Amino acid sequence: MRILLVKTSSLGDVIHNLPVLSDLRQCFPEAAIDWCVEEGFADIPRLHPAVDQVIPVALRRWRRNLGHLSTWREVRDLRSRIRARTYDAVLDTQGLLKSALIARQAQGRRYGYAAESAREPVAARFYDETFVIPRNAHAVERNRWLAAAAFAYPVDLALDYGISPPAIDHAYRSGERRVILLTATSRDDKLWEEANWRLLAGVFLERGLTPILPAGNPLERQRAERIAAAVPGAVVPPPLSLPQVAALLARADLVVGVDTGLAHLAAALRVPVIALYVATDPALTGVYGSGFVRNLGSCGAPPSTAEVLLVAEQALR
């Protein structure tokens, strides 16, 4: 059996789809499973041993360069690559028009959410078979239930993200205790106050944990460096690739982060993680896993530092 999964973005959504791979591998151990994913997140499926082939797509970059001939060449090449194999099943767990159109390019029977379950109802028109999946369930379970319905296997399999961190050496692989502080996110309204991060980092340092603040783009790096400058002993590592970040997270004693895909990656790696919500509700898309995971705060009601420190004590015990 050959299966194609379509889940292109965002980082958190891609991580939420990893348990589908584990479920499929458990039920169909001989299946060859490919995954079509946004190029910037392609390293996440590669962490899972059940993936046969990762097919990168560049929708975000293509949208910015529609007038370039090279863009349309890449679109043509993607279509050729995705049609190079005939699939027994093509499963779109994203439920968006863009993902449904990608699934439509593949050769094979296509499965997805019914219109009343899809994030964009029009997507359902492009599948050969659709399923009604409750919208009030967590995204991880919605993905798994859709796959279980499409492939007719039980929905009560144990939750397993199935990934292991890459064996990447870096400067932070010492024997000291570490707490990773994920201060950056995709929207400014999701940010937690810098004063809170400074207080949190200072308390962790007093308790023998080195605060490490990864950062990506220049604005994120400036923010991390401001926080670290106020807490001597806190560390801002150099820019890291996604596999390097995964390796860093996996060696942490605790991860505390805002609403960002990297917090979901920590949960998938079974690292104790506390996610902080300021402008979004974690009920359906919060960190989710079988290890120590806590979602604090909600839209318009950010958690206090005292609340975070109390839960951090529980995690570190």
Which of 116, 151, 186 is where one domain is finished? 151
Q: Is 220 in the same domain as 110? A: no
In a domain? residue 302: yes
The conformational region for residue 163 under phi > 0 = left, psi -120 to 50 = alpha, else beta, is beta
- Tokens found for residue 305: 């530092």
pLDDT attached to residue 172: 55
Q: Is 182 in the same domain as 143? A: no
pLDDT attached to residue 167: 82
CATH code, domain with 251: 3.40.50.2000
Rounded to whole angstroms, the Cα distance separating 91 from 142 reads 13
Determine the number of helices (DSSP H) and then strands (DSSP E) in the chain: 12, 11
Q: pLDDT tens-digit profile of 18-69?
A: 999 999 999 999 999 999 999 999 999 999 999 999 999 998 888 888 778 8
pLDDT attached to residue 60: 85
In a domain? residue 170: no
pLDDT attached to residue 54: 98
- Domain hosting 99: range is 2-151
In a domain? residue 171: no
Contact 52, 31 (CB under 8 A): no
pLDDT attached to residue 170: 60
Q: Is 29 in the same domain as 121? A: yes
The domain tally of the chain equals 2
Crossing angle of helices 305-316/194-206, nearest 10°?
Answer: 40
Low-confidence ranges of the chain (pLDDT < 70): 169-175
Q: pLDDT tens-digit profile of 215-240?
A: 999 999 999 999 999 999 999 999 99
Predicted TM-score (pTM) of this structure: 0.95
Contact 93, 143 (CB under 8 A): yes
pLDDT attached to residue 171: 54
Q: Is 9 in the same domain as 120? A: yes
Q: Is 17 in the same domain as 127? A: yes
DSSP conformational letter for 169: -
pLDDT attached to residue 19: 98
Contact 254, 315 (CB under 8 A): yes
